Structure formats: structure tokens, C-alpha cells
Structure 1
Amino acid sequence: MIDALVQPFAEFAFMRRALVGSLAISMTAPPIGVFLMLRRMSLMGDAMGHAILPGAAIGYLLAGLSLFAMSLGGFAAGLAVAVAAGLVARSRVIREDASLAGFYLLSLALGVFLVSVHGTNVDLLHVLFGSVLALDDAALLLVAGIASVSLTTLAAIYRPLVLECFDPHYLRSVSRWSSPTHLIFLVLVVLNLVAGFQALGTLMAVGIMLLPAVSSRFWVDSAGGMIALAIAVAFVSSVAGLLVSYHYSVPTGPTVILACGVFYLFSMFAGTRGGALWRLMPRRHLEA
């Protein structure tokens, strides 16, 4: 049993790099997902995850499978979609969720079109689903750098970010940090989607950001507790996904996200803060 858990990482360098990259993403993406969930912006995270695709595709067309070009293109495209959706929503003709849906569909179609026309099916699969087992040293440095910047920035804006989640009107009335906090947070979302894209692809990167975060809500109420549990869930899911992928020769990225999904389904059933099992249990008289 111990050999099955340790041997893949002890014997193969690509498994060790995949483990380091997955754990780095697991440290920084789930906290971002917690705040997306608390701010009711979960669908925005999904939309922005797909929005980076055309930028990554343009980077691919200009420089091939260049880490720098695809990352820079994805970052620029994600920010452009976030800003454009916000500007359209301010016109009050349509709401922000509808404008995000429009940009999300346009970005996804454009990205797939660009890669399909000028690349191969292998290139398209690499962009959409990533290749965590093919992470090299440059990709690991990028992921680790983004994780370090994200965690440091989150620590700096933690208090206004939490306050904005629960009482944004009060934050606007007592501080000028409301708008800067929102903009900084959007940049962190895009940065972490770019980091996740390197390992899990554009379609799977948002999964490790949101599924552990949503799962944690069924167990704890505090923001700090949700962040800690979400990171732990992402850690365990990453290791489990890598091991299952190695031993059974199945795709790694989807397996990691499925592991997150298994814990999400378990939390929906057994979570102590609103799980189906606890809701069915009889309660005492006048108990909330």
C-alpha cells in the first residue's frame, strides 16, 4: 500500500513535477474560489476561465507552445473580458451575468476556432485540457510565482475583501478600498486561471478553484475555515488524481477534478452545515 502511494513520486521526475505544480495551484486557487463563492461570482469564474482561451490561442499562433506567449495572451484576454463585461453591465441594458455569458460563449468559440484552424487536434486538447504530467521547470516557476504573488496579495487585502463579501455598502461608506479591492481581486482570478491553465487546461482550471471552495461551505461557516478546508480538499484531490492516473492510465487533469467532485457530492450529502443527511435528521423543538 505504501509503495503504491510513494513509488510513482520517488521513481519518476515528471510525477514529482506534476505533484509540485498541482500542490502550488491547490494553495492559491481554492482561496480565490472561496471569495468568488461568497461574492456570488462563481459563474463569473467559469466565464473568465473560458475567456483566456482566445488569448492563449493567439499566443500559440504567434509563438507556438511558448509558455510566456500563451500565458501573457491568456492574461490579457481574461482581463479584457472582465472589464468589457463590467462596462456592458453598467449600461443597465443587460445584467452582468448575461454580459459575461455572451463574452464567455464568444471567447470559447473564438479560441477553439483559432486553435482548430491553425493547429492540430493534439494542440487543441493540450489547450483545453492541459497536461499536468508534462510540466517543465519553466511552467513550475510560473505557477509557483503566481501562487506566491496571489497569497501575498490576498493577505494584504484580506480584511476589505471579507468585508466586501458580507457588507459591501458599509465598506464603500467607510473606506476607499472597495473599488481597488474588486479590481485587484479580478486580477488575482485571472492570474490563477492562467496558472491552472498550464496544468489543467482552460476547461478544467476553474474546477480546482471552485469545487473545493463550494465543498467547504457544507462543513464550516467562517471565511478562514472555508479557505483552510478548501486548500486541504484540493491537496488531497490532486494527490489522489495523480495516483489514480498513474496506476490506471487515465487522463490526469479530469481525474483531479473528478476527485474534487467526489468530495463535493459527499459534502452535499454528509456536510454538517446543510448536508442532505443532517437536514433529514429530527431537530429539537424551536431549533433553527
Structure 2
Amino acid sequence: MIYDFLIAPFAEFDFMKRALVGSLALALGSGPIGVFLMLRRLSLTGDAMAHAILPGAAVGYLIAGLSLPAMTIGGMVAGVTVAFLSGLVSRFTALKEDASLATFYLLSLALGVVLVSARGSNVDLLHVLFGTVLALDDAALFLIAGIATVSVLTLAAIYRPLVLECVDPGFLRSVSNAGAPVHMVFLALVVMNLVGGFHALGTLLAVGLMMLPAAAARMWTQDVTVMLILSAIGGAVSGYIGLLVSYHWSLPAGPAIILSAGGLYLASLAFGAQGGFVQRLVPVRHLEA
């Protein structure tokens, strides 16, 4: 019974194996990225950037159809362009970066939907918006795994200045000029992981495995390193549970994965060791003899 419910779907069906491997790779790469976005109070930036890649992916779709290289290159170019333009707007106008990102996010989403609809069917549009995690092929898996590998290695290389920029950017500016380059490298990692998530979960859900496990991890620890590990584990568990729920109850796989991550987040809100609801209800005794 336990085998049939927990293991058999992945042992018997190749598409479930591929979906699980893709979900695990996404969790490994995007979970730690989400932690740094959260620590830098840029959580909504991830959502805006996820939608920003849509026009580029749509242009790639118009040129080559559902081609992995074309949509990947288009999405990366669009994401980097929007990040650059929003930075220019915030630097040379009265608009703050969050306002400019929100503007580009809305324009990008609308433009991407129009471009996909101009050539494709409603099915193609649904694939672009919500992903096809159960239809990942070898090329998509290699892409997602490659992005996860590059992300982990790059985060290891820039870990110290990136953490310092999160907790005390003023001190980092006073002792080093690494702040700006590290910020640009980090934004590039955000775009890369969103593009990888786009192929599996679509542009509307790609940010889910990036932010929900990170927010859940924050409720359990204040140690950044532990937070990074917990976010990756949380994303992997969410992918596994979501795929099982999708298989046994015939639900869409991508939304089921994100809902699983949401359930993990809600459980962490309730029982987390760092300010969870239950902990706050338990009286804490001070200055006992």
C-alpha cells in the first residue's frame, strides 16, 4: 500500500521520474536564490522578473515554436533587459525600483500573452503560463540541472559579499567595491532560475518554488546557511508531494507543486521555531531563579 502510493508512480512511469528530477533540480537552484531575495526584501522582484521573461520566450516561440533553445534565450534576454531598464528608470527618474518593476511586469505579461495568442492555440498559452512539468524532455532536464549547478557554484563563490550586502550594505560599500558586481551577478542568477522554472512551471508559477520554501525556512532558523539548506529541502519535498497529489487525484502538476509548497509555508507559520503562531501563544518565562 505504501509502495503503491509513495513510490510506484515514479518507479513505473518515466514522465513522473523526469518531473521529479526536474523538480529536485529546480529546488536546489531556486530555493537558495529565494532566501537572498527575501533577506534583501526583494521577494516581489522575483515575481516581477518571472513575468518579465514572458515576452522574450514568446518571441522565441513565434520564431521557432515550442523550441527550448529559442524560448530560453528569449526569456533570458527579456529578463536581463527588464532588470536593466527598471534600474535605469529608478536611477534617472522619480520612480522607485519597485514601481518601475511593477510597470514593466504588467507590460511584459500583457505583451507576452498577446504574442503567444497571435500564433498559438489556447493549449500553447496554457503551457507557457502554467508550464509542462510532466512533459520535460532530456534537453529541458539538462538545462534545469545546468542552471542549478551554475547557481550553487556561483552562490558559493559570492557567498560572503552577498550575505554582507543583505545584512549591512553600508559596511560592504565602505570596505569593498564588490557590491555592484555581486548585485548584477545575483540578478543574473535570478533570471536564469526563473527561465529554468518557466519551462517546468510556466511564467505564472516559476517564482513559487523560489519564494515559498524560502519563506518557510525563515520561520525555522535565523542562520543563513541553515536557511539555504532548508529552502532547498523544502522545495524538493514540495515537488515530491505535489507530483504525488497530481498523480493520485488527477490534478494539474504545476499548481499541485506550488500548493504543496504553500502548505509547507502555512505549517511553518503555525509551528515555526522563529516566531510561529504556536510559539507565540506559549508563555515564555524570564529571569527565573
* Fold-level similarity (TM above 0.5): yes
Shift of 1:3: 2.3
The reply to whether residue 234 of structure 1 matches residue 235 of structure 2 is yes
Matches of 1:222 and 1:115 in 2, distance apart?
A: 43
The reply to whether residue 9 of structure 1 matches residue 7 of structure 2 is no
Shift of 1:285: 3.7
Shift of 1:92: 4.3
The reply to whether residue 270 of structure 1 matches residue 251 of structure 2 is no
Matches within 5 A, 1:15-54: 15-54=16-55
- Deviation readout 1:92-113 (Å, 9 max, x if unpaired): 4111111110000000010011
Matches of 1:195 and 1:202 in 2, distance apart?
A: 10
Shift of 1:280: 1.9
Residue 278 of structure 1 aligns to which amino acid in structure 2? Q
Matches of 1:170 and 1:187 in 2, distance apart?
A: 24
Q: Which residue number in structure 2 is paired with residue 64 of structure 1?
A: 65
Q: Which residue number in structure 2 is paired with residue 185 of structure 1?
A: 186
Which runs of 5 or more residues in structure 1 are unaligned? none
Matches of 1:285 and 1:181 in 2, distance apart?
A: 42
Q: Which residue number in structure 2 is paired with residue 162 of structure 1?
A: 163
Q: Which residue number in structure 1 is paired with residue 74 of structure 2?
A: 73
Q: 3-state DSSP class of the match of 1:142?
A: helix
Q: Which residue number in structure 2 is paired with residue 216 of structure 1?
A: 217
- Deviation readout 1:124-162 (Å, 9 max, x if unpaired): 000000010100001111111111111111110001000
Q: Which residue number in structure 2 is paired with residue 255 of structure 1?
A: 256
Q: Which residue number in structure 2 is paired with residue 149 of structure 1?
A: 150
Matches of 1:157 and 1:209 in 2, distance apart?
A: 19
- Deviation readout 1:155-212 (Å, 9 max, x if unpaired): 1000100000001111111112111000000000000000001100011110000000
Question: More displaced, 269-278 or 45-54?
Answer: 269-278
Matches of 1:179 and 1:286 in 2, distance apart?
A: 46
Q: 3-state DSSP class of the match of 1:89?
A: helix
C-alpha RMSD of the superposition: 1.1
Count of residue correspondences: 287
The reply to whether residue 172 of structure 1 matches residue 187 of structure 2 is no
Matches of 1:139 and 1:243 in 2, distance apart?
A: 21
Matches of 2:249 and 2:283 in 1, distance apart?
A: 43
- Deviation readout 1:202-230 (Å, 9 max, x if unpaired): 11110000000011111100110111111
Matches of 1:268 and 1:198 in 2, distance apart?
A: 30
Identity across matched positions, percent: 64
Matches of 2:233 and 2:150 in 1, distance apart?
A: 20
Residue 109 of structure 1 aligns to which amino acid in structure 2? A
- Deviation readout 1:19-72 (Å, 9 max, x if unpaired): 111101110100000000000110101000000001100100000000000000
Matches of 2:139 and 2:11 in 1, distance apart?
A: 21
Q: 3-state DSSP class of the match of 1:84?
A: helix
The reply to whether residue 88 of structure 1 matches residue 82 of structure 2 is no
Matches of 1:184 and 1:285 in 2, distance apart?
A: 45
Shift of 1:283: 2.1
TM-score, L = length of structure 2: 0.97
Q: Which residue number in structure 2 is paired with residue 116 of structure 1?
A: 117
Shift of 1:286: 6.7
Q: Which residue number in structure 1 is paired with residue 133 of structure 2?
A: 132
